[in-house]
A and B are shown apart, each in its own frame.
Chain A
Amino acid sequence: MLSLVTFLPLVGALVIFFAVKESAKLARYLALGTSLLTFLVSLQILNGFDSASAAFQFMEEAAWLPAYGITYRMGVDGISLPFVLLTALLTPICILASWESIQTQVKGYMVAFLALESFVIGVFCALDFILFYILWEAMLIPMFLLIGIWGGKNRVYAAYKFFLYTLGGSVLMLIAILVMGFKGGTFSIPALMGIPFSFGLQVWLFIGLFSSFAVKVPMWPVHTWLPDAHVEAPTAGSVILAGILLKMGAYGFLRFSLPILPDASRFFIPFIFGLSLVAIVYTALVALMQKDLKKLIAYSSVSHMGFVTIGLFAFNQQGIEGGILQMVNHGVVSGGLFLLVGVIYDRMHTREIARFGGVAHRMPVYAVIFMVFTMASVGLPGTNGFIGEFLILLGAYLANKGVAVVAATGLVLGAAYMLWMFKKVLFGVVRSDEVAALQDMSMREIVLFIPLLVLVLWIGFYPAPFLKMMHASVEQLLIQANTIKAGSAAIAMF
């Protein structure tokens, strides 16, 4: 089942690559069909998922490189399943969003997109460290191509910056993985969760993993690749980047750092809190001054991900569940916001905030949808953003009041830059002919937003089923994260 959901998109990509000659239309329909099928398979997994169990489910194992202890091992639990679903949901939306805006090398684009989906789902399902690492790196290639080929003016610089930043972090992660595997005698992730490493070794391993995860999240100060990547990426690339790729870093903390290296994770709490708080306040202030719509949302992503990392390292149920939920929320909301930017960019070919103004007069439907996502981003009760932020802040408050107080200022600042942006873009009088000539959203465009809007309100009013999916796994994670592994029998560095 998991192999199916992982490799179905890749098969689709291969089919398009070999079978489709010229027809852009055929490539589009094949890609959409594949991604929808993948989504259906992911729903089937959700259907069979037992949320009462904390164990990995849908396990698959096959010998791969037994000489090195490397196995093909897949499985999902309540922590990874939400991300599999999110990826499977966002990909068809992205493909539909690229329907008209991508006109050059459509075939290559669709192939890259499906390959990306395949690798990302694989990352969330992999339970073998080497398999994880390979997919983690493989995913960089299609993303690099998406930005580098279908991006904006400065795309090459942005693509390289993205690639080198993330690759730089990955090198240290690879070393950490190899050390962990050889010292622990296995690359199996569930097995490693039970293996005690000494405190000193844990600290080094944590730093190794951290350097890769922190870039992906991205945490301050290694966030500067994100605004550039977003600005240059095509709309759908931004959606996937914000919606899924950023989640991989935080997922890494949850899947590896907390359960495998609990002592080091606890040791680094103040450090993570510090960086996250700087991220929240710093990037919110920076977002306040942005002139480019996409850059503003990119900076807001950094700020929101700061909340997530605080939640994860609060080490309590509310914080971690809030963190996971907020990752899903952020995927939905920032995905929606980037799509909205894309809608207007397709019409006006600019993202400069000052060039808009009065758009609501010409595009009332657009304005309403924009308002909903803005409010979700601001964390208004009744939207998904509230549930996530509230649980995170509650968890943080129980863990460390000062952290919660500083983080909560993000609520004020977040409202400031979002409302300011909303006003500049949608309100006011129509000043330019370009705005006066705008057409409201087409049916295809509206359809794109419906699943996201449903999620915004559903999670906002009835988050129980989403949280229930995570309960058991998070409870178990907390037990693991609170055990002291670094005893006398622990495996030391030398």
Chain B
Amino acid sequence: MSKYLLIVLAPLFGSMIAGFFGRLLGNRLASLVTIAGMSVSALLAIITFFEIAVGNGDPVRQEVWSWIVSGEFRVSFGLLIDRLTAVMLIVVSGISTLIHIYSMGYMAEDPDQPRFFSYLSLFTFAMLMLVTGDSFLQLFFGWEGVGLASYLLIGFWFKKESACNAAIKAFLVNRVGDFGFALGIFTIYQVFHTLDYATVFRMAGTGQYPQTVDFLFWGPVHTMTLICLLLFIGAMGKSAQFILHTWLPDAMEGPTPVSALIHAATMVTAGVFMVCRASPLFELSETALTVVTVIGAITAFFAATVGLVQNDIKRVIAYSTCSQLGYMFFAAGVSAYSAAIFHLMTHAFFKALLFLSAGAVIHSMHHEQDMRKMGGLRKKIPITYTVMMIGTLALTGFPFLAGFYSKDAILEAAYAAHSTAGTFAWTLGMIGAVLTTFYSFRLIFMTFHGRPADHHSYDHAHESPWVMLGPLMVLAVGALFAGMLGESMTHLGWFKSAIFLAPGHDAMEHAHHVSAWVKWSPFLMFLIGLGMAWLLYVRMPELPGIIAGHYRATHRFLLNAWYFDRLYDRLFVQPAKLIGEGLWLTGDAKIVDGCVNGVANLCQRWAEQLRSLQTGYVYHYAFAMLIGVLVLMSLYT
């Protein structure tokens, strides 16, 4: 077994051992087994990263085994490790390992720990399959696999009705996205007769494919636009983009380490990864790129507005994640793929940090998540406060921290794209930057500053154990330095063959040369946001209530996340139930069975009538015979 394969499989082994023998091993041993599996994976991932990304190693391609063969259609399980994958390996294996360790502390009182760690490792396996795949079908395998793990982990506390519902919602909304994704894969096969990345990308590059294909009632459409838009529907589901975003905030029902790993650092970024991986296709469709840019920009703005008014500490961070994913998408949309991946990487560090710190806060407050009941905690849990502050500064783009480099790279690229969509994205991105800073510091101020709102829980608040604080510190180091160290990623050609840029798509190149005011304006946005948050939540804490009361409709609109849940319930859920009931009770029971039973009744009635003919009277029969003979004679004469 090659070491690359072991990166992927080690978490699976851990998961299986913990899953099957968890009861024998006990909580402690089961979690240690999965951590061991993760550590092997992470260690090898780091070695691989140094080989391929730091050193100048060539991309690795290995076929593992033949998966599906039917006629001309053949797909294998395989490995493709280039610089793009190497970055993802570090992020996925590294952060997953830290979160496994953290969970030992966070889940210490849970009786079902083997199951939890088994799911967590299973997730990591699926995610690694997703990023190492060498074909669209293996991508899809990982894609749905992480969906399963996400479903299992959101519903981990399956006693809670709300957790179960959130799990189902996440699975179903993702299925809607996967519906588009699957159609995209079918179209790729129809056009290229293979799903293998290398062949598809090569043929796309040389233009050896039909430029238009028929699609439903649209008639001939641009091939690449169709493929990319269908794939992007999948990305919208997985990465919780505007329209298909509704599952992500609800997913916070899962344990907090899950939110950090799956719903912040890794799984939700799969859509961004996919768009970057498929850059040789996306680059060939301006329409698709514009759609990606616009949807990303809208999400970046929309989620930030909703984040302004949430009171659940995890929901604020969830909307923040949604918003940051929007940034990554519009970066990809303006062909700044390297900036998108750069931000994906830095975001993974500081967002996992924020979630885990929030988890530490929740842990110290005995599972209280409402920020209105917190306050003043910085004195009680100073370490948590410090690392969370680092995460917040990194997110909001404080100079020389992670977000400062990556978010600015995205905004500069959007500005430098000099397209309508790019400018649109830049504008919303700048507004989003203010909002991001505002809600992030609102969270900090409400939780850690001011006076304690609930003295009982304040008095009992305690710093988390070292097994939790340790991973937080490692992530904090990442949030401090990942931007500085990773910036070279955005230089032209760093990703080598992994990312393809069409001629003229040079936003990233121009981004390095924009004027100083463009470079520093995000920092201005940071200052504005910080000032507003300070004013409203430190200087005049009574003001937010007054504003909310004054603009009640707007406040409600934001609090209910633009009423998307209600809209979808009325538009899809209720009608589906009504139609289902109607088809069952009317269609099946009345019409179809009505006909069947009707035919049976009809037969019975005919039989009754026929029976009444057989009266037993001889003269009846004689009469009938007479008529019969007469009819026959008249016919044959």
Contact = CB atoms under 8 A, between A and B. Distances in A.
Tell whether A and B belong to one assembly: yes
Interface of A: 161, 164-165, 221-224, 227, 282, 285-290, 316-318, 321-322, 358, 360-361, 375, 380-382, 386-387, 390-391, 393-394, 397-398, 401-402, 404-405, 408-409, 411-413, 415-416, 419-420, 423, 426-429, 461-464, 467-468, 471, 475
Contacts of A221: 591-592
29 contacts: A161-B596, A221-B592, A222-B592, A285-B583, A286-B580, A288-B576, A321-B71, A381-B144, A390-B68, A391-B73, A393-B182, A393-B186, A397-B186, A398-B186, A398-B189, A402-B216, A412-B172, A415-B171, A416-B172, A419-B172, A420-B168, A427-B159, A428-B164, A429-B159, A461-B67, A462-B65, A463-B67, A463-B68, A467-B69
Contacts of A471: 70-71
Contacts of B145: 380-382
A328 to B, nearest CB: 14
B286 interface: no
Contact of A405 (B137, B141, B176, B183): B183
A8 B215 CA distance: 53
Interface string B186-197: 110110000000
A396 B576 CA distance: 25
Contacts of B592: 221-224
Contacts of B67: 461-464
Contacts of A391: 68, 70, 73
Contacts of B73: 317-318, 391, 394
Contacts of A360: 158
Nearest to B593: A224
Contacts of B214: 401
Contact of B576 (A161, A285, A394, A468): A285
Contact of B164 (A387, A413, A427): A427
A429 B187 CA distance: 45
Contacts of A393: 182, 186
Interface string B362-399: 00000000000000000000000000000000000000
Contact of A321 (B70, B148, B151, B176): B70
Given A224-B592, A419-B171, A471-B70, 15 more contacts: A224-B593, A286-B583, A288-B577, A288-B580, A317-B70, A317-B73, A318-B73, A321-B71, A375-B148, A382-B141, A390-B182, A391-B73, A412-B175, A419-B168, A463-B67
A286 B584 contact: yes
Given A224-B588, A427-B164, A318 B148 contact: no
B424 interface: no
Contact of A289 (B68, B69, B580): B580
Interface in B42-100: 65-73
B213 to A, nearest CB: 9
A285 B583 CA distance: 8
Nearest to B195: A394
B158 A427 contact: yes
Interface of B: 65-73, 137, 140-141, 144-145, 148, 151, 155, 158-159, 161, 164-165, 167-168, 171-172, 175-176, 178-179, 182-183, 186-187, 189-190, 214-216, 576-577, 579-581, 583-584, 587-588, 591-593, 596, 600
Given A161-B596, A394-B186, A394-B189, A282 B583 contact: yes
Contacts of A428: 158-159, 161, 164
Contacts of B596: 161, 165, 224
Contact of A423 (B72, B137, B168): B168
A420 B168 CA distance: 7
Nearest to B597: A161
Which are the 8 A-B pairs with shortest beta-carbon distances? A317-B71, A285-B580, A397-B186, A427-B158, A381-B141, A289-B580, A288-B580, A286-B584
Contacts of A402: 216
A402 B214 CA distance: 11
A238 B576 CA distance: 28
A101 B106 CA distance: 45
Contacts of B581: 289
Nearest to B595: A221
Contacts of B583: 282, 285-286
A386 B576 CA distance: 24
A415 B175 contact: yes
B446 to A, nearest CB: 33
A423 B164 contact: yes
B65 to A, nearest CB: 7
B72 A317 contact: yes
B140 A408 contact: no
Given A224-B592, A416-B172, A318 B70 contact: yes
B347 to A, nearest CB: 27
A318 B168 contact: no
A468 B67 CA distance: 12
Contacts of B580: 285-289
B159 A380 contact: no
A222 to B, nearest CB: 8
Nearest to B600: A164
A399 B176 CA distance: 23
A287 B588 CA distance: 12
Nearest to A379: B144
A317 B71 CA distance: 6
B73 to A, nearest CB: 5
A397 B226 CA distance: 14
A463 B65 CA distance: 11
A164 B604 CA distance: 14
A411 B70 contact: no
B216 A380 contact: no
Contacts of B576: 285, 288, 413, 416
B215 A380 contact: no
Contact of A380 (B144, B179, B584): B144
A427 B66 contact: no
A434 B105 CA distance: 36
Contacts of B587: 282, 286
A333 to B, nearest CB: 16
A286 B588 contact: yes
Contacts of A382: 141, 145
B205 to A, nearest CB: 24
Contacts of B187: 397
A411 B216 CA distance: 19
B175 A401 contact: no
Nearest to A408: B179
Nearest to B584: A286
Contacts of B176: 412
Contacts of A380: 144-145, 148
Contacts of A467: 68-70
A161 B161 CA distance: 40
B70 A405 contact: no
Contacts of A415: 171-172, 175
